Structures are given as C-alpha cells and as structure tokens.
Amino acid sequence: MLTKFETKSNRVKGLSFHPRRPWILASLHSGVIQLWDYRMGSLIDRFDEHDGPVRGVHFHRSQPLFVSGGDDYKIKVWNYKTRRCLFTLLGHLDYIRTVQFHQEYPWIVSASDDQTIRIWNWQSRTCISVLTGHNHYVMCASFHVKEDLVVSASLDQTVRVWDISALRKKTVSPAEDLLRLTQMNSDLFGGGDAVVKYVLEGHDRGVNWASFHPSLPLIVSGADDRQVKLWRMNDTKAWEVDTLRGHVNNVSCVMFHARQDIIVSNSEDKTIRIWDMSKRSGVHTFRREHDRFWILSGHPEMNLLAAGHDSGMIVFKLERERPAYTVSGGVLYYVKERHLRTYDFATGKDNPLIAIRRPGSTGMNQAPRTMSYNPAENAVLLCSDVDNGSYELYVISKDSIGKNDTQEAKKGSGSSAVFVARNRFAVLDKAHNLIVVRNLRNELSKKVDAPAPTVDAIFYAGTGTLLCRSDDKVILFDIQQKSILGEINSPQVKYVVWSQDMEAVALVSKHSIVMATKKLALKCSVHETIRIKSAAWDETGVFIYTTLNHIKYCLPNGDSGTIMTLDVPIYITRVAGDKVYCLDRDGKVRTITIDTTEFTFKLALIQKRYDRVLEMIRSSQLCGQAIISYLQQKGFPEVALHFVKDERTRFNLAIECGNIEVAVVSAKEIDEKDYWYRLGVEALRQGNHEIVEYAYQRTKNFERLSFLYLITGNLEKLSKMLKIAEMRNDVMGCFHNALYLGDVEERVKLLEKSGHLPLAYAAAKVHGLDEVAERLATELGDKVPQIPKLETSKLLLPPSPILRDNNWPLLLISKGFFEGAFAEPGVVDQEEENAPDAWGDELVIPSGDAQAGAAEAEDLEEAGRAGPGAEGEEEGGWELEDLELPPEVVQPVESLTYGLERNWSDSSPPNVRNGPALIYKLPALEDRAKQAYKATTEGKFSEALRLFLSILHTVPVIVVDSRKEVDDVKDLIGKSKEYVLTLKMELKRKELKDEPVRQAELAAYFTHCDIQPSHIRLGLQSAMGVAYRCNNFNTAAQLARRLLDMNPSQAGIAKAKQVLQACERNPRDENRMNYDGRNPFVVCGATFTPIYAGSRSVSCPYCAARFVPEVAGQICSVCDLAVVDADASGLVCSATQSR
C-alpha cells in the first residue's frame, strides 16, 4: 500500500471521490461532512447541518453537487460552490445507510434501516419509487454503471438485484396520458416500477455490502459471517461463484477494483485485504493497530482507493504507476506490461525490444522500479524493491531484438544496481554495507565498503563513480580509488538527473530539488509543496520538472516558475526545444508542446544576453504581473516599464528606475495627491526642483513650496508665497515666508496684528525700526520688555544658494543597454559582428580619404548666429584673437577659416570690415561623431582619429543658444577626448611590434577608457589575445571574464571561454606589467601610463585629459589646443553661460 493522504478525525462512515478534482468527501460519525484536497493535504470545507452520524455521501458526476444521508432520517443535497444545502428529501423512517447519484438520470438511490430502498428525482425533489422486500435493515444500495439495475444488501442475510427498467421508461420516456391511471393504481398497491430480479442467498449472517463489477456480470458481497462472496448473473438467474475467506471479523465493505482483476475488502478486524479474482485467493493484507475499517471508495478515473476507519481515513494506491525508463543516445528505453520497449525521439517509432519474464509471486508492486542501460554492450539492468530489493540483467543480442521472445535474465539481490563501466555494474548490498562490482556474466569482480555506514541507495555518476545516498546527504564516491570526491546535504533523494554534458546534476526528492555541479558543489535548491514526479534538463541548461499537477522549470540561479497545468501526472523523459516527451501512467509515450518564452527570457536576462532579451521584448507577448515583478526583483524596472500599460504600475516602475519624465506623465493621468507627493520626493532626490515645484503646486503643499523656493534662492516666488499666505489668512505661513525673505517689517506687522505686541516691539527694536518700536512702546505702557544691548549684531538672512534657476547637476553615466535600445532604436552603435576581422593584430589600417570639416548644405543656407561676430553684428566677423588661444595652437583652428576666406576680400560688402561668420553647428559635429564611431568599429583608426580631432578643433568656434546645448557640447568634447586618447594608444601599440609586454599594457589600458560598449568588447577581445600570446595568462583570464560579462557575440563567447579554459590551467603572468585591472585609473595622454586613483595629476583646461605632473606647461597631446595645467576660464560657447 502506498499511502497518499491521511486524516485524523472521528469515525469515517462515508467516502466519495470527486470525478475530476483532487477532492474527497468524508462523512463522520459526529455529523460533520469534510471536503479534503488529497493532493495538497488540506481541508477545503466542512458541512455540519445533520443531526447525528452521516453514513452515506456521494458526489454528482457532472454538477457541483453532492448528496448525504444520516441518522436524522434526512437526505440533503448540497452545492459545494455556494457552500450550502439546497434542499432536504424526507420520507425514510429510520437511519439512512447509503446514498448515491445515478450516472445519467437525475436520480438518487438511498438505503435505510426502515427496510426500504427509495429512488428520488433530485430535480423535482420527489420520491419516484419505494423498493420493498427486505425484512431487516438495508445496509447499502447502488446503481449499476450501465444497466437498469440496483443491488442491495441487508441484514436479512440476502443480496437483492432490482430491475428498474420500467421506472426508467415511466419517468424518462413518459407513457400516454391514458396509461398513467393504471400506473397510478399500480403505485398504490406497490406496483411494478422496480421489481426484484434476483435474490442471492448464501451468507449465514447479515450482509453489510454488495456492489456490481463495472463491466462484467459479477457481484461481490461482504457480511457479518466474515466471508466475501463472488456472484455471477445472466439474464435469467444469478449464482454463487466462490467464497473468499480470511477476515476474522465482520466484513464492512467490499468492491471490485476499477482497473485490475482484484477485489478489495475491509473489515472490523482492522485489515484491508486484496484478493486475486482469477485465483480467488488473498494477495495482500494491510493492517492497522487500533482502527476498525468501515467504508471503501474507489476513484472513478484514477488508480486511487480510500478507506474510512475509527480515527479518520486514508487515500492510497495498491502499487506504483511510474514506469521504469531511461534515455540513451536519443532513444527511450522503458518497461510496459511484460515488454522492454524502445522509442526513437527522432523518428517517433515505438517498438518492443524483448519480452520480460513475469514474476512468479502474485504480490503487488512486482514491476521494476528503476532501469539502467549500457549502450556499449546493449545491456539493461532492471531493479525492483520487492523482498529487500533485486535486480535482473538482460544482455540483448541483435538476433533477439523485436522477436518478442522471453529472454532469460541473470538475477541477484541488492537494493540498487547501476552500470559503472563498459562491462561492469555495481550492486548495493545494504545488509552488509557493501558495494559489489560484477561483470556482465553476473560474476563477482570485487567488493568495496560503502562510503558511509547508512548507504541505502546508489545512482550513476559517470564511469567508475557513484552517488551514494546516506540519510540526508549524498556522497560522490570513486570505486577505483575507494575515495570520497564530494558530498552534499539533501533530503532523501529519489531520483538523480544528470545534464547532457554531465557538468550538472539535480538531486530530486519528494518535495525538493537540489542542483549541484559534477563535484557536488551546491548551485541552488527548490522546494515544492506538491510531490515532484519527474525531471529532465533541456539543451540550454534549464531544468524542467513535473509535480502531480504542473510542469515547472528551474533556472541555474534557482528561480523557478510554472509552465503549464496537467490533468494527470506524467513522467518527463526528454525536453527538446518546446517539446516535452513523457510517459503517462499507462506506459504510453506522449509529446506535449510547451511555451518556453518565459524561462528563455529569464535565462537570457541571467546570462546577460541583453540582445536576446531585447529581441524577445520586441517580438513576444511577455506582458504579465509575473514578468513585471521578476524584472523589478532582478533590478530591471526600466525594462518592465515597456510592458506596462496601467498608469499606476508605470508610475511605480518609473519612480523605481528614476525615470522622472515617465513618472510625470503617469502622475498627470492618475492625478492623486499621494502620487504627486511621491513624485516630488523622487524629483527632490534627483535635484529636479522644477518637477518638485510642479508636484507641490498640484497638491497645494504651500509649506514645502516655500522651503523649496528658499533653498533655490527664488525670492520672487517666495514673495508670491507670502501674498498667497495672506490671502489664505495663514498667519504662520506669512511669518515663515517673511522669515525666509528676511523681511523684518512684515514680521513686525504680523506680530502686532496677531496681538503679540511685546514680540513685535522686540523685533522692531532689535532690527532698528525705531519709529515702529516707539509706537509699540506707547501702546505697551509699563509692559515694555527690556531689550539687552548687544555689542555685535547683524541681520540674519538665508544664505544665497549656488544654483538658482537650473536643476542640480547630476553625474554623467552611460545609458544602460535597455535604456539606449528603447530610447534610440536607430542609434549607430555598431556591434563587433559588423567587422569581425578589422581589429586583428595583422590588420593594416587604411588611410581615410573623406574630407573632414566640410560644411553641410543646410548650414550654408543658414544665416543665424554662428559666431561671436555674425554678419550684421556691430563688431563684424570672426577673428582668431577672440578665442584667446596661445600662439602655439592657433594653427589647428586657423585651418578652419581657409575655405571661407578664400574669396572674401573680393566679394565682401564695403560696410563689413572683418571676416565672415563661421557656420559650424552642433548637429553637423554630432553627425561627424557618428562617422567616427563607424570608422572605429571598422578598424579605420587613422580615419577615426582625424574625425575626432577635427571635432575637438571645431568646437571652440561654434555658438549654441541654450544651456542644454552647452551640456551637449561638453559631452561631445568628453567623448571625443576619450576616443582620441584610445585611438592614439591603439596606433602606438601597432607600431611596437618588438615589445609584446608594452603591447599588452596598451591593449589593456584601451579597455578602461570611457568609450562605447561595442568598442570595449572589441578591445577586450584584442587585449585578451595579446596578453595570452605574451604568456600573461592571469591577465588574459581577467580580460576574458570581463568580456563574458559584457554580453559578447556567440563567436566572442566561444573565444573567451576557450581562452579562459586554457588560462585557468596555468593562472600566472610570466611578464610583469604596469597594469592592475582592479584599481581604478585613467591613462596619461602623453606617456600612456596609468594614473591610479589617489595619484597626483594635472589636466587640460579644454578637453580635461589627464596627465602626469611632469607634463604641466606643455601643449595638450590629446586636443593640441590648450596648455596643460594652465589657468584658463574654460570653454564659453553660449551667452547663457554668462548670465
């Protein structure tokens, strides 16, 4: 017996399984009806309207109804959805023993101690027939599944079979009106709606139970004479077939098993007995110590039974339904009935391999429990746990395949048996705590002591190694060396599932999964409340497993989720793409298609394959609360933002990821005070006081607004707040605003107006308002306060803030992968796949022929404010002297004017004295930067360097209109400076062909510059190879790990893993390098050496390039425009900077 669920309660007298849901009804001797979920082991509901014991209960086949009958003579019909009794049927005059719904018709049959059986129509709520004939208590009555028959058992020592075909014809197919009178007359005199067809006599005492076979013309009965009798019937008669003896007390209940040729009975002798129908003999006896059994029930669809006893009930199976199977080389090997079969996953062909000899004993659970396959010798081990465990070894010859011949097996005893080598298998001798190794002739090779005294199971772990289960741990044991290679704690393991590459293992227990490496280093664990039934790895490293009612997944980091719900349990054999191959409990191979989108998305996120994540976001239907909460939990609220339409959720996500713009839009849509307040808090945290002001205005939070204007120095709006407070008659608000403004006269006026004359006098006196003070002193008379004279005093005013008008500056950080992808889907961010060979060391850098600095057509047409002396201004055109550049660096900028001044002297208007206005604009420089990025990706480093230098040389002569554009100009200078430095280093590295160590240093420095991620990835690939070639394996490994963290291409991943694997075998550097990748540094623009954090350095006042102190006073080697460490005002390119 395999107990699935057990309850503790009062005596259980009635049981009924729900036909589809995992529910069971239990009616108790105390009058309570309990509804249990036997899968979850939880009580769903209880119904207690009966007075006294409830002896019968039954679920309806299709409606949300059940019926109950009790010792209060009442039959109640309940709706379990509404959790109430619908109606009560009255008519019986004594205890009601059983009740049952008909399979098709709206009928209920009931048996009672009033010696009658009644049939009720529950739709019309009337009794349609009374079956009389028994002369003692009727203990049970039930309908036949298919025929118009009722069987009843009574303490009058008889079993009766009733024919109710006339009742069916009468109620289901009504007769003509003329015939109804005769039917009514026959009813009055106990007429012929239901007639006795057979009376079965043979029991010596009262019969407690009788039931039909679901498909054969058989009846089984149990009685107080301790006997179980089997009866057969035909159209004309019924007779006794056999008597089953074995119970030593009254037989309470007996029934046919729905799926097997067995009879199940229970008794007041505290046993459940299993009888073989064909041999008419007992097979098994299950005994309880103290509880008498009263009732049995079988599930209509599944292989489940339930039994009620004195202290509760149990739900159980008679034997395991999991087929023994294993997978090898794309083929499934499994046992079905008495055959070993194969299923080819590629072709879908299912063929018998050999016939297996049937066990000699008639006991239950004789089928093999586990299987192990040896592809080298085409051998199979089948293990069973009957009689302390045994194994059967089949070596399958090519001649016997598919012939269905029964093959002799080599047998032996042992708790577990698995193959450990090409021609060896290991058997666990639990009694002697030994692992016995045998050859394929079943001959002993050697014996090894088990690695722990309590080893009770062994599992395959690769050639020559085993996983040994001992208590709550698993040990990795090497049979050859007789050594323990590793161990891990785990609840009692039932199954072990290895990944396809044998690099990871999952230890599957009843309610948990422990995932580990091949050396048993813990990776993660998952706990389930429902029993875990099977599992398999898919090709991406995701672990797919099934519980009783779900297919689920577990990612390598331990995150798990549900894929789909199951109607019946299945056993996964293989997972390939979106196909799950499995066996059901009948041994049939099934294929289920699953949706892999969710776990594929999460796996890509974990593996930092952001390009794949982005692709799935744009192409898949991934919306849902689970995905959104997962992205939040993993720190990607900006990604979740793109799934959400609900404004409240969008607002929360926007606040979490600091996206003020989206939060403002959502707050406007929601327009609730709490949301405006939260927006104000976040905007204040970011220093965006414009949004803070807007949020406070929407919530009319005047106190916070006043304080905001104070800290931003907006005295004009503070004055308005003072007036608003006066209009609102808010005295304290007026006083606070006057205090913030330093307006003493207003404060004195407010104090006087509110009746605080002494305070008003003190304020006026201290601040030198003598006239007001004298007037107030007159009003106070003798109550004038004494003001002490202070030698040094001054008016207290709020300090002036550094920033008045603009939002507080924030640190510049590069956009995240997703922010950039969503905000600018068309941005030119070339990936390394576009130029796979461009960054090789052997590459000859081509010289570019594109013209830099060429004016755009639309720029030529524009006559806006292009320079300090644009045409029409008083001072005339542009002069080099306006830039205040040192004479050494005039040449780079002077070249910008040649093209424009060439014909200016001949064609210039007579009233214009100076040169033309320069027409260089910011958008043109941004386009030039995109060209430079593209040239860098393509490996055209000389061309890219020229373009970036031309940007740096052009920026000093452009003029912009807004502060935002000023910030854009400065950002462009910073990016160009980084690329000029990086490209000069790379060109320098190409020249140093005979200095591999210096080459490796420059390549490593390259990867620490602030450039685009795609270029850093390319640089990492190059630096990794250079470091590897100069035998600096530790540095190469560090660079390879950094590359893997940056989501490279598949080729990049393969190359990095290859280098990493090679370097980990010898993790040391043969050559000393001036490079420490863990210590932050910037690269000197002159010497190309690292300046580590905390070291002294000097910088260029124009491009901000950093240098070692020795370079101070020299021309900047990055921009060629400024003197390093010079005292300069910095770039001024807009009139807004002087406001």
Q: Which amino acid is at 363?
A: G
Q: How far is CA 1055 from CA 343, 1007, 1020, 1061, in A?
A: 38, 17, 11, 10
Taking residues 326-331, report their average pLDDT: 89
3-class DSSP state for residue 259? coil
- The pLDDT-based confidence of 179 (bands split at 50, 70, 90) is very low
Query: What architecture does CATH give domain 490-569?
Result: Beta Barrel (2.40)
- The answer to whether 482 and 468 have CB atoms below 8 angstroms apart is no
- The pLDDT-based confidence of 856 (bands split at 50, 70, 90) is very low
What's residue 535's pLDDT? 93
Please count the CA atoms within 13 angstroms of the CA of 755 that sit on its side-chain side.
Answer: 0
Taking residues 414-424, report their average pLDDT: 89
- The answer to whether 203 and 225 have CB atoms below 8 angstroms apart is yes
Q: Residue 313: which H helix or E strand, with range? A: strand 312-317
* CA atoms of 372 and 334, how far apart (whole Å): 10
Q: Which residue has the higher pLDDT, 183 or 439?
A: 439
Least confident piece of the model among 10-19, 535-544, 688-697:
688-697
Examine the pLDDT at 308 and tell me if it is beyond 90. yes
- The answer to whether 476 and 520 have CB atoms below 8 angstroms apart is yes
What's residue 901's pLDDT? 54
In DSSP notation, 865-916 reads --STT-TTSTT-S--GGGGT--GGGHHHHHGGGHHHHTTHHHHS-TT--S-P
390-395: strand order across its sheet:
370-374, 379-384, 390-395, 410-413
- The answer to whether 67 and 98 have CB atoms below 8 angstroms apart is no
Q: Give the pLDDT confidence of 329-360 residue by residue, as tens digits.
A: 889 999 888 888 899 988 888 888 888 876 54
Least confident piece of the model among 291-295, 644-648, 898-902, 1079-1083:
898-902
SS3 sequence of 793-862:
CCCCCCCCCCCCCCCCCCCCCCCCHHHHHHHCCCCCCCCHHHCCCCCCCCCCCCCCCCCCCCCCHHHHHC
Q: Give the pLDDT confidence of 1012-1051 residue by residue, as tens digits.
A: 888 888 888 889 989 988 888 999 998 988 888 777 887 8
What's residue 33's pLDDT? 95
96 Cβ contact partners less than 8 Å away, ≥ 6 residues apart: 55, 56, 69, 70, 71, 73, 74, 75, 110, 111, 112, 113
What's residue 806's pLDDT? 66
Answer whether 2-317 and 490-569 agree in fold.
no
651: left (phi over 0), alpha (psi -120 to 50) or beta: alpha
What's residue 226's pLDDT? 93
Taking residues 971-991, report their average pLDDT: 91
Examine the pLDDT at 899 and tell me if it is beyond 60. no
In DSSP notation, 546-595 reads EESSEEEEE-TTS-EEEEEE-SS--EEEEEETTEEEEE-TTS-EEEEE--
Q: Where are the beta strands (DSSP E) in 461-565?
A: 465-470, 473-478, 483-489, 493-498, 504-509, 512-517, 522-527, 532-537, 543-547, 550-554, 560-565
* CA atoms of 1105 and 1130, how far apart (whole Å): 13
3-class DSSP state for residue 1114? coil
Which of 118, 117, 167 has its CA nearest to residue 139? 117
The DSSP output letter for 432 is T
* CA atoms of 1075 and 999, how far apart (whole Å): 12
The dihedral through the CA atoms of 985, 986, 992, 996 has a sign that is: positive
Q: Give the pLDDT confidence of 264-303 residue by residue, as tens digits.
A: 999 999 999 999 988 888 889 999 888 999 999 999 888 8
Examine the pLDDT at 483 and tell me if it is beyond 70. yes
- The pLDDT-based confidence of 189 (bands split at 50, 70, 90) is very low
Domain range list for the chain: 2-317, 490-569, 817-901+917-1050
Taking residues 68-75, report their average pLDDT: 95
Taking residues 462-474, report their average pLDDT: 90
- The pLDDT-based confidence of 79 (bands split at 50, 70, 90) is very high
Q: Give the pLDDT confidence of 607-633 residue by residue, as tens digits.
A: 877 777 777 777 766 666 677 777 777
What's residue 702's pLDDT? 86
* CA atoms of 608 and 1011, how far apart (whole Å): 20
In DSSP notation, 164-175 reads -HHHHHHHHSPP
Class of domain 2-317: mainly beta
Mean pLDDT rounded to a whole number for the chain? 83
